[in-house]
């Protein structure tokens, strides 16, 4: 982010710092100790960080108590009792309820009735459960022996006076606060939450809710940073968006310096409009400007008025990653926590080869899926740029690649750092071709208690993921040029896969209804230069269909296929989903594309049908027993799902939907 007046000289990054040296140097220059201690009510203690150890001041329970309804006895009086030879014990006449102080002492041959939780009377050393005894006048008949101590919780057996219950630095959750309450504490010593002043900068930034004009974007960095602060026991204070004006930024920074830490997003790069580091130079000191990491190279680490001052890059993914590397550990230390988070998945494999930039500590964002064949996770690198919002929002975590490593081979064992302890590997992963009609099935799965993850990689890559056991469900619509058959020709005899019949979709050309088209067919669209195409990604079923149709046109006109493709304006501009194609056309970013009728209808676009296609579901055999997969197959055959499908034009339901269509005999 940046922009604004071009009034300053350009800041170049010739000598960026090594990642580990930068971190060491910065933490040595600032105070990383907790911000202080405060006593708070136990009613406010949940989620806070304990500042001092908690020592038990009383025994819990404070008295011996019964864990069952029954009779308090001397155990030896019950020895050898059974159904045929019960033992008779004199009933004292006392019935002890929870909260009562027993009045009668128990001795050999005498017992008292007692309720669960009640104080065990003096002299008793066992409780006979009421199921194994009955009263007969002034006698209690016992049909089963009790051992000494049976059904009695002794004083201090849970917590003993003087015992250390919790240590400094422990996060107080419901379990901890319950124990503290059991000790009678009303106030708890906790570390003060570090308060973080957060500022967003940039002429192009708007608050969510404002009208979005051309060239403007909504501020999401403040939301990312604020919620990261909350997750790490800090209190965020968002001070608003500041335009690219030196004095206004300085004024807002002075306000933020009233807190424990300052974080600015934007204004770190080498552009002449970036003013934030200049403000830091005037008010404090820059410790590090530029680190050999990717993404996030231009991060600025400084100090002002003895307080940490960090300027994060403006791109959302860069901001998130640099926060995780430099700010999260610092905030945790200031909050009284360990700098290292407790959530990390160690046992993962990388799904594809990664080539890393030499000399840079690179962080590659990944999606995680459970590989049933290996019982570990597979990590899929996300290849979108650091400027992409979904790069961060769809990522489960990231892989760190040290500066001295240039290549991470496919299937290498790697450690994945999760972005949050709340991230859970999905119960069912859909990796394959995009289809908007999957949404009803996903909603039904979620209502059944299953978490889902959807990755749109196209039919070809989805089928590969299915073969590797990484996908639970792969939606495919691959057309074989020779046989004119969908999907089955792409499965091999040795595949350990099962293919289930899905539904039929109508593929066609989408374009805006106000576009003047003399002859709305494919040949017309591809020969008009002024009409810009938005293509589908390579490997997708739609792209394969489009290229097959282009081959036919080229052959019919005796024209080289590559020349034909080169003549199509926008052929190399790709979108990953039918929705993205339709949105691009509707917004005027492109004039036409290939998508399913359902997506065209959702954006009120004109549609020219090309052909019907089978959208089927491939499942690794090893996944067929998963409860989430079984549920999906039930949904596929359900009336509720069929009713949802038929709400859209361009969808047909075959009679064998949900049936197995592969393996079959050759």
What distance in Å separates the CA atoms of residue 241 and residue 217, rounded to the nearest whole number?
12
- Whether the per-residue pLDDT at 391 is higher than 90: the answer is no
Provide the 10 A C-beta neighbour count for residue 329: 19
What distance in Å separates the CA atoms of residue 537 and residue 153, rounded to the nearest whole number?
67
- Whether the per-residue pLDDT at 286 is higher than 70: the answer is yes
- Residue 621: HSE in the Cβ half-sphere, 13 Å Cα cutoff: 6
What distance in Å separates the CA atoms of residue 477 and residue 500, rounded to the nearest whole number?
12
Please state which architecture CATH assigns to domain 37-60+158-191: Alpha-Beta Complex (3.90)
pLDDT digits (tens, 9 = 90+) for 487-500: 999 998 889 999 99
Provide the 10 A C-beta neighbour count for residue 359: 13
Please state which architecture CATH assigns to domain 65-153: Beta Complex (2.170)
**Residue 6 has what pLDDT?**
32
Whole-prediction pTM value? 0.74
Nearest alpha-carbon partner for 554 in 573, 575, 571, 574:
571
**Residue 388 has what pLDDT?**
52
What distance in Å separates the CA atoms of residue 78 and residue 133, rounded to the nearest whole number?
11
**Residue 384 has what pLDDT?**
58
**Residue 341 has what pLDDT?**
74
pLDDT digits (tens, 9 = 90+) for 350-379: 888 898 888 889 988 888 887 766 778 888
CATH of 440-662, one of 3.30.70.141, 1.10.10.10, 3.40.190.290, 3.40.50.2300: 3.40.190.290
Per-residue DSSP letters for 208-261? Answer: TTS---TT-EE--HHHHHHHHHHHTT-EEEEEEEE-S-HHHHHHHHHHHTTSSE
Q: Which residue has the higher pLDDT, 458 or 506?
A: 506
Task: Burial-class residue 231 by CB neighbours within 10 Å (0-12, 13-18, 19+).
Answer: middle
What distance in Å separates the CA atoms of residue 610 and residue 526, rounded to the nearest whole number?
14
Q: Collapsing DSSP states into helix, strand and coil, what is residue 404? A: coil
Provide the 10 A C-beta neighbour count for residue 285: 11
pLDDT digits (tens, 9 = 90+) for 48-106: 999 999 999 999 999 999 999 999 999 999 999 999 999 999 999 999 999 999 999 99
pLDDT digits (tens, 9 = 90+) for 112-132: 999 999 999 999 999 999 999
Which two tokens mark 185?
Answer: 């504490």
Nearest alpha-carbon partner for 171 in 56, 55, 344, 46:
46
Per-domain residue ranges of the chain: 19-34+193-334, 37-60+158-191, 65-153, 344-425, 440-662
**Residue 530 has what pLDDT?**
87
pLDDT digits (tens, 9 = 90+) for 138-189: 999 999 999 999 999 998 888 889 999 999 999 999 999 999 999 999 999 9
What is the C-alpha end-to-end distance of the chain, expressed in Å? 59
What distance in Å separates the CA atoms of residue 281 and residue 307, rounded to the nearest whole number?
14
Q: Do domains 65-153 and 440-662 have the same CATH topology?
A: no
CATH of 19-34+193-334, one of 1.10.3720.10, 3.40.50.150, 3.40.1080.20, 3.40.980.10: 3.40.980.10
CATH of 344-425, one of 3.30.70.1900, 3.40.50.2300, 2.30.30.240, 2.40.340.10: 2.40.340.10
At how many degrees (to 10) do helices 246-256 and 276-283 cross?
60
Beta-bridge partners for 237: 197
């Amino acid at each position: 982010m940046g922009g604004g007046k071009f009034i300053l000289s350009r800041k170049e990054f010739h000598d960026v710092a090594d990642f580990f040296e930068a971190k060491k140097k910065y933490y040595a220059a600032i105070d990383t100790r907790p911000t202080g201690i405060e006593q708070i009510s136990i009613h406010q203690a949940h989620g806070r960080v304990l500042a001092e150890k908690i020592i038990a001041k009383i025994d819990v329970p404070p008295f011996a108590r019964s864990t069952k309804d029954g009779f308090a006895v001397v155990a030896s009086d019950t020895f050898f009792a059974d159904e045929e030879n019960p033992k008779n014990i004199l009933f004292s006449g006392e019935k002890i309820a929870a909260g009562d102080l027993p009045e009668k002492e128990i001795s050999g041959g005498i017992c008292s009735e007692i309720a669960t939780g009640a104080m065990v009377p003096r002299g008793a050393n066992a409780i006979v459960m009421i199921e194994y005894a009955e009263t007969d006048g002034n006698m209690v008949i016992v049909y089963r022996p009790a051992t000494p101590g049976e059904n009695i919780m002794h004083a201090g057996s849970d917590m003993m006076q003087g015992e250390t219950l919790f240590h400094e630095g422990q996060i107080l959750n419901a379990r901890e606060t319950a124990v503290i309450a059991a000790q009678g504490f009303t106030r708890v010593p906790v570390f003060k939450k570090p308060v973080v002043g957060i500022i967003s900068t940039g002429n192009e930034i708007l608050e969510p809710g404002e009208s979005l004009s051309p060239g403007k974007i909504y501020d999401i960095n403040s939301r990312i940073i604020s919620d990261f602060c909350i997750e790490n026991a800090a209190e965020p204070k968002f001070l608003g968006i500041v335009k690219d004006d030196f004095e206004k930024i300085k004024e807002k920074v002075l306000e933020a310096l009233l807190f424990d830490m300052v974080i600015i997003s934007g204004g770190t790069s080498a552009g002449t409009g970036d003013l934030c580091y200049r403000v830091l130079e005037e008010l404090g000191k820059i410790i590090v400007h530029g680190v050999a990491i990717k993404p996030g190279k231009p991060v600025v680490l400084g100090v002002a008025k003895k307080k940490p001052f960090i300027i994060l890059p403006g791109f959302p993914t860069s901001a998130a990653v640099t926060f995780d590397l430099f700010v999260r550990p610092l905030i945790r230390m200031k909050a009284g926590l360990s700098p290292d988070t407790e959530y990390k998945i160690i046992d993962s494999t990388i799904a594809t080869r990664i080539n890393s930039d030499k000399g840079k500590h690179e962080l590659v964002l990944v999606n995680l899926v459970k590989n049933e064949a290996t019982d570990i996770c597979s990590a899929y690198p996300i290849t979108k740029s650091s400027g992409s919002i979904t790069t961060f929002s769809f990522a489960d975590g990231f892989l760190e690649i040290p500066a001295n490593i240039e290549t991470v081979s496919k299937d290498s064992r790697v450690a994945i750092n999760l972005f949050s302890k709340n991230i859970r590997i999905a119960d069912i992963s859909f990796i394959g071709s995009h289809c908007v009609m999957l949404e009803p099935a996903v909603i039904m799965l979620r209502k059944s208690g299953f978490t889902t993850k959807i990755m749109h990689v196209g039919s070809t890559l989805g089928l590969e993921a299915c073969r590797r056991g990484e996908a639970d469900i792969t939606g495919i619509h691959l057309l074989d040029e020779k046989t004119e058959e969908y999907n089955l020709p792409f499965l091999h005899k040795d595949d350990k896969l099962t293919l289930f019949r899905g539904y039929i979709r109508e593929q066609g050309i989408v374009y805006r209804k106000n576009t003047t088209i003399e002859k709305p067919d494919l040949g017309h669209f591809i020969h008009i230069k002024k009409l810009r195409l938005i293509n589908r990604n390579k490997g997708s079923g739609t792209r394969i269909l489009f290229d097959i149709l282009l081959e036919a046109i080229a052959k019919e006109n005796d024209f080289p296929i590559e020349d034909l493709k080169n003549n199509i304006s926008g052929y190399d501009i790709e979108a990953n989903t039918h929705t993205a194609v339709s949105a691009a056309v509707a917004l005027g970013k492109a004039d036409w594309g290939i998508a399913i009728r359902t997506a065209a209808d959702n954006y009120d676009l004109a549609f020219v049908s090309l052909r019907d296609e089978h959208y089927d579901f491939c499942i690794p055999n090893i996944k067929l027993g998963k409860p989430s997969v079984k549920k999906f197959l039930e949904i596929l055959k359900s009336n509720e799902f069929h009713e949802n499908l038929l709400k859209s034009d361009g969808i047909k339901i075959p009679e064998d939907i949900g049936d197995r269509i592969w393996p079959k005999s050759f």
